[in-house]
Structure 1
């Protein structure tokens, strides 16, 4: 093989490799995300994200250097006498590089695959078109409530809004089944974010001002100038739109953007765990990577609860971080709530029998929302525990490696 052909071959392969690797480490390609659990691979995984971040920030000059190194050998190969197969391979590699360049930057970038709404409509219930049985992420601030259907935010991954005069960043990762609401304030200023890829199968966002990359599941900055900082998370709840509207009759509801009708259609069964995608479908068994769990965080302690067990028992009682906890399932078997079992100085113990939730201490009757509707404690309400999430087991254990699994026995 002629030396001039090698001088052509090396820079064009380098250019192709740089483009591919810039997305490989932060997208769900085979082998790109190290494991489903935090099993000692955290440092290796972080190194891959750091490499992707370096490539992202240096891609312009890397392309420039590669093209400069390629220019003369390409000119020599195409204009001087060479073996025909050298030219065929050379032209083919140039075409491949052009295709890779286009695909990486126009088709495979996360923010090109999952776009923000072009027309955002948030309407009152009187104008709502979203079915009441659809799951939503509900957020309330200063008396104003808004529901964000999982089918919609699962595609967008991020929707910006203002609720009760408070700017909010509504986020969702379908591969982790994690819904989080954050304040978009970074260093005291409202910032813009774009979906940049994923780490441990969890969405990552890049802020516009500093270029820092943030994990969606925890709000933690993993690489960039603000590494180690955490976005302020705001309490949100997941339930059906019908249950949310019953609790918040004046709620607003995010509507589907017609520009993404096909994308929303492909997501129509996701919220009930019936997606056919390998990364987003539910494992109906317990404690498998794609099994549903409820993860609870309190005072630095974390606990995971089997969704199937909650559906069977209707309630689960525990203590997390010193706080007595009640998990309660709604009659629709898809909405849930997490509450403190403390009422004043008393800690209540609950039972669910004959379709009634009662406490053993006063025999008062309660709703799954933590409202006492009959008995000595009528009118009392349990205090909600804000950090209680439904998500895939692989996600919860990845970002809470010290979590414990609830064992009723």
Structure 2
């Protein structure tokens, strides 16, 4: 997805400024960056020579921003980047972005802020809500500005579903038995949200069982996380949308009250008014499973209607078909693949002050795993064919799978529900929130700070 130089000419030419940019003095570096996307070729060539002579790699972040859109001037931009870094990645924007992620010690020149704003606001002026200059100062952000990438859509170009229409299971004739759904149950209120619909929307804002929640689904990292949206000390629940931006191939969502950008994977604000608020959204349990499995165990469930108010092809296996079938990423993210491939599925839990992942392959032939996260014993019930895992506290119990269901070491049968395991004497072992995702997202955001089952 690229924008031609012509699309930027009126925006950047002749030293024009995007709305809200305050640049008090003439900056030759900023002028050089602007020349990559507009103006005469002779001036551009002189500006590239200036950046070479200057000899500082702090301009590479700006040049890398330009490289993505400067179709006719890309070769000369790359030549400067190679001269300043000693790297040889040619016209491969993907590899240059990986290099940038691996080199956080290179602090971008201050001109990156106005230049990147000009480029991105030229795509969608609404991006100004997220990219105010005062938000983009390095000490005010929780992520690196140079690593924020446009995902190819405008603000709300992937529209959220807000309190969408739900129908009974008996009326959901459009669903196939092996269609995957996100299943959620809170206070007896059971819901199913098919991935074939959610892949087009990536976000719903709902009230389930009296609890305001949002499902943040990042198709690129294979992760759908159910967050509580009512935060202590705030009058109203947050309502979220998709910003159009990515960070290391993970979506940046935004809240509609403050227009802060949030990391979908961690549930934390990272850019904007709330970046230093210390807020972390609480997770609620959610499961991926087949429609057949969900409606069999939850006959009273309600499910998304095809009447979403949007025109999309909600057919089975349509949305992101090629991406889901590929082993490659669509956007750059550094990932350690020495143990797992970047798009292997894992089940992730971040609770009790710890973070731990279980590869879905670990459940092959072993549907019940007795384990722990930190000092908290857990039991996990998984089915990799359905991409389905549920986790529960197990206290001092040890469990195994039987033909009849779940049994403890004393031979007692337990009932598996969405909110707890229930013993024969009424003992309840609570569900623990977690979610499935691709390995690369887990590794990229947590890395050495987390543990992995079996390693």
Q: CA deviation at 1:198?
A: 1.1
1:199 paired to 2:265 = no
Name 1:350's counterpart in structure 2.
Answer: 399
Q: Which of 11, 36, 43 is equivalent to 1:13?
A: 36
In 2: Cα distance, 1:124 partner to 1:301 partner: 38
**Per-residue deviation, residues 346-377 of structure 1 (Å, max 9, x unmatched):** x11223466764322x112345657568xxx4
Instruction: Give the alignment's TM-score, normalised by structure 2.
Output: 0.61
Deviations 1:174-211 (A, max 9, x none): 11111112344574334543322111211101233333
> Aligned pair in 2 of structure 1 residues 171, 30: CA closer, same or farther (>3 Å)?
same
Which of 118-127 and 308-317 deviates more?
A: 118-127
Question: Any idea what SS the aligned residue of 1:318 has?
Answer: strand
Residue in 1 that maps onto 2:312: 261
Alignment of 1:97-176 (within 5 A): 108-111=152-155, 113-116=157-160, 120-128=164-172, 129-176=174-221
Size of the alignment, in residue pairs? 343
TM-score normalised by length of structure 1 = 0.67
For structure 2, which runs of at least 5 residues remain unmatched after alignment? 1-12, 16-30, 40-60, 70-91, 126-148, 331-337
Pair 1:289-2:342 in alignment: yes
- Asked if 1:275 corresponds to 2:321, the answer is no
Point out the more displaced range, 258-267 or 195-204: 258-267
Note the aligned Cα RMSD (angstroms).
4.6
SS of aligned partner of 2:440: helix
Give yes or no for contact 1:213–1:224 (8 Å, CA) kept in 2. Answer: yes
Partner Cα separation in structure 2 for residue 354 and residue 53 of structure 1: 63
- Matched position secondary structure for 1:313: coil
In the alignment, which residue of structure 2 is the partner of 1:214?
262
Pair 1:400-2:453 in alignment? no
SS in 1 for 2:431: coil
Moved more, 225-234 or 328-337: 328-337
Relative contact order, higher structure (CA 8 A, sep 6+): 1
Q: CA deviation at 1:122?
A: 1.5
Does the 8 Å contact 1:15/1:63 carry over to 2?
no
Give CA-to-partner distance per residue, 1:14-67, whole Å, 9 cap, x none: 459989939969xx962475489xx966677x979x967984489669999xxx
Tell me, which stretches of 5 or more residues in structure 1 are unaligned?
Answer: 1-5, 65-103
1:372–1:21 Cα change, 3 Å: same
Which residue is 2:223 aligned to? Answer: 178
SS of 1:312's equivalent? Answer: coil
Q: Residue 429 of structure 2 is aligned with which of 367, 382, 396?
A: 382
